[in-house]
Amino acid sequence: MQIQLAYGEGHLTVECPEDRTVVITPDEREGISDERTAIHTALDAPKAGPSLRQLVKADTRICILFTDITRATPNDRMIPWLLDYLSFVPKENIILLNQLGTHKPNSRAELETMLTKNVVNNYRVLNAEPENREAHVQLGTTRDGTPALINRHAVQADLRIVTGFIEPHFFAGFSGGPKGIMPGVAALETVMSNHGAENIAATNSTFGITYGNPIWEEILTIAQRTGPKFLLNVTLNNSRKITNVFSGDLIEAHKAGCEFVKRSAMQAVAEPFDVVVTTNSGYPLDLNLYQGIKGMSAGARILKEGGTLILAAECREGVPSGSELDKLLRYAQNPEQILTLLSTPGFVRPEQWQAQIQALIQRKADVRVYSSLDDDMLQAAHLSPCGDISATIAEELEKHGPDARVAVLPQGPLTIPYLEPAP
């Protein structure tokens, strides 16, 4: 049987034996026919809390927080429609702040692609500055006593409008909601505290869990310290069409969105598989290996100990080369040494959480990667290249024996499989 895998801006076709293959996808939802109207209706009649119209006056200073280029949020539609709704507010009272987290800043050309040229030309659009401590205001501390630092523009606004989309997240439970503030516009040291090795290793730091998840609970606590907020989050189908809009109160609206996503994305399986093929949901989510670890995580949930995991992720930006993740992977001799280093008191590195999660998966599985990365880059990342996915599937099934089975996640972490009982 032929299966189409999301890859870059297109698809890969792979061949799998029909009698030994299970394809796992989210329940498909229809896109909203009139997205603009749905957005405006949600602003006037939110899922929870007062409407945006009730919160905003002509002199209200607004900070709109939008997701960066590594996210699939349809900013080019959502943000112009939001600004149309806020047309009674003077442009100089509105700042658009890019939720970079610890990612690299987006160029003006990228911002124009993300938000449209009209928005970039007519509004103040800024990248968050995670490495510039002076760009932040301290709002208490994290659990371990690290300063909780949030971007000054977000804190000093009268109202924060937090935009984004909701999908399962591999260690924070779900994206969207409070993540738009923390880590979205937080300082690097705050993010590193929250994403520390102990928190990452916690049992509940995984897909689909918010309350009881130490990472998400701290994210929420810090986000709540910023003052008045209005949430505008959407859910998407495989065609990047908006399937629902969740707006209003940060907590309640996001909770409703998570439940909506959980019903379609979380898919139960009865037993683990010998081979799992996954993706990172195609562009823009598979821009680099840093993001690709999300796809690995989704597939690893239903993989047998000693099984084979195959990730298809384009990685047109590389690891990225020269990134903190790239440096850490190259510094360590093997995945096990990464875990040893991260357990050493005082050893802390930016982006260590991605390396930690990859190494934990590699304790369990042989990981192969089909990508645009050359073999040397993959080997430096302690990963094995996969030149032909179909051939690799056939070889690995033969290796694992006549009863071996393969699971395929064509949409990667947009589908979150789990072993029953449900999480």
Looking at the annotation, which residues are catalytic? Answer: 103, 169
Residues in Cβ contact with 331 at an 8 Å cutoff, skipping those fewer than 6 apart:
341
Q: CB 339: neighbour CB atoms within 10 A?
A: 18
- The CB-side HSE value for 128 (13 A sphere, CA atoms) comes to 33
Q: Are strands 384-385 and 365-370 parallel, antiparallel or unpaired?
A: parallel
How far is the CA of 133 from the CAs of 6, 256, 269, in angstroms? 38, 34, 46
By C-alpha distance, which of 237, 247, 392 is closest to 311?
A: 392
Cα separation, 375 vs 378, whole angstroms: 5
Q: Counting every residue, how long is the chain?
A: 423
Residues in Cβ contact with 225 at an 8 Å cutoff, skipping those fewer than 6 apart:
139, 140, 148, 150
Cα separation, 72 vs 57, whole angstroms: 31
Contact between 14 and 5 (Cβ < 8 Å) = yes
Contact between 311 and 299 (Cβ < 8 Å) = yes
For 94, the token pair is: 């509105």
- The CB-side HSE value for 15 (13 A sphere, CA atoms) comes to 5
For 319, the token pair is: 């690891």
For residue 19, give the amino acid letter.
D
How far is the CA of 235 from the CAs of 31, 177, 261, 313, 362, in angstroms? 9, 12, 7, 22, 31
For 13, the token pair is: 């076709």
